[in-house]
Structure 1
Amino acid sequence: MTLPKIILLVGMPASGKSTIGAALATRLGYRFTDTDILIKKQENKSVPAIFAQYGEPYFREKEKQLIPQLATLPNPTVIATGGGLPCFWDNMEQLLQVGTVVFLDTELRTLYQRLLAKQAARPLVAGQSPEQLNRWLTERYNLRVPFYQKAHFRISVTDSERVEEIVTKITDTLTA
C-alpha cells in the first residue's frame, strides 16, 4: 500500500502527537507541522497567551478555520493537531477528508504524568491540584474518545514504548 500524502495525528493533550509526529515525518521524509504552531504564527502569540487574552472559544474557532488550510499545505506532510481540535463542530469529519487520521491512544496514567510535569505550559490545566488534574483528564478523555475513535487508525501508546517503536507501529499500520 502507498503511504498517504497527509497524515494527521489526533489524541489527548500530552499524548505525544508533536514528538511522534516529528519523528514519523523524519522517518518518512515528510514535512512536519503542528496546528498549535500554525495558530501561534497566525496570531503572533503563544497558545497560553491566546487562551488568556481571548479564551478557549476563540481558540477553537481559530482551529476550525485552520482545517481547510491543512489540505493546501505542501505535502507529503505529517500534522499534529491540538488535542481538542477534532472534538468541536464537524472538525473530525473535515479532518477525515483532509488526509489519513491516526488516533494516538495514550494510557491515562501516562497522560496524567506528562501533564503534571508540564502543567504551567498547558492553559486548560494550569494551576490545578493533582486531584483536579486527574478529574479533568478523566472527564476530557471520556468526552473526547468518541471523536478520536472516528480516526482511520488507532495506535495504542504505552509509557514503556520508545518513540521509534511507536513510529514503527504507525508505519506498519499505514502500509498493511
Structure 2
Amino acid sequence: MSNIVLIGFMGCGKTSVGNLLAARLGYGFTDTDRFIEDSCNRTIKSIFAKEGEAYFRDLETSTIKGFIGKMDQTVLSVGGGLPMKPGNAELLQQLGQVIFLKATRATILIRLAGDTTRPLLSGDNPAKKLEDLFTSRAPVYERAAHMEVNTDGRSFDDIIDEIIKRTGVKP
C-alpha cells in the first residue's frame, strides 16, 4: 500500500508529523479535519455546535470512503475520533498502512494546554474529559493500527525515520 494513515489522540502529532513525512517522501498530505472544513466551508467547532457530533462523524466516514481507490502516495492524518465509529478502522486499513502515533496522557495535556479549538474538550474540567477520551480511544487505536510509534520526547526527524524504516516506504 502506498498510502500512510496516521491515527491517534488529539495532540499526538498527526498533522505535524504527517506534513513533514509527506514532504520527506515526496507524497501528498491530507488532513481529514481540514478537508471537511474546506468542503463545508465551516470549522469543525461550528459543525459540532450546529449539527452535533454524530453528523460530523458521518462526514468523516463519507470522506474516507471517498478516498478509497482515489488516493495514492499520500500521508493521511485523521481526526482523533474517526477510528471510533464502527467500520472506520477497516476503511482506514483499505487506504494504507495505519500508524498509531502514541503519546502519554501527560504529554497530550501539555500539548493541548490552552487549545480552545477542540469541541470535545470544551466546557468544565477538560482534564477529566481528556482522561475519559484517552481511556476509551487507546484500545481502539491499537486494534486499528498496523503499527504503533511513540512520539513522547522525540524529534520529528526521529519519528519520521522510524515510520519510514518500519513501513518500508522509499523516499
Classify the TM-score, shorter chain.
over 0.9
1:51-100 Cα offsets, whole Å, 9 max, x none, are: 11111111001011112112244420000000000011211111112211
1:124, 1:38 → 2: CA distance?
A: 19
Q: Provide the residue aligned with 1:143 in structure 2.
A: 136
1:19-48 Cα offsets, whole Å, 9 max, x none, are: 000011011110001000111122110111
Q: Provide the residue aligned with 2:79 in structure 1.
A: 82
Gap runs ≥5 in structure 1: none
Determine if contact 2:3/2:71 at 8 Å carries over to the other structure: no
Aligned length: 168
1:100-119 matched pairs, under 5 angstroms: 100-118=97-115
Q: Is 1:22 aligned with 2:19?
A: yes
Large movers: runs of 4+ above 6 Å: none
Amino acid at match of 2:164: T
Amino acid at match of 1:86: P
Q: Provide the residue aligned with 1:169 in structure 2.
A: 162
Amino acid at match of 1:146: P
1:3-152 matched pairs, under 5 angstroms: 4-118=1-115, 120-128=116-124, 132-150=125-143, 151-152=145-146
Instruction: Return 142-151 or 76-85, whichever deviates more.
Output: 142-151
Q: What is the aligned-residue identity percentage?
A: 35
Return the TM-score normalized by structure 2: 0.92
2:126, 2:118 → 1: CA distance?
A: 11
Q: Is 1:156 aligned with 2:153?
A: no
1:25, 1:166 → 2: CA distance?
A: 13
1:125, 1:11 → 2: CA distance?
A: 16
Amino acid at match of 1:42: S
Partner SS for 2:121: coil
Gap runs ≥5 in structure 2: none
Determine if contact 1:112/1:133 at 8 Å carries over to the other structure: no
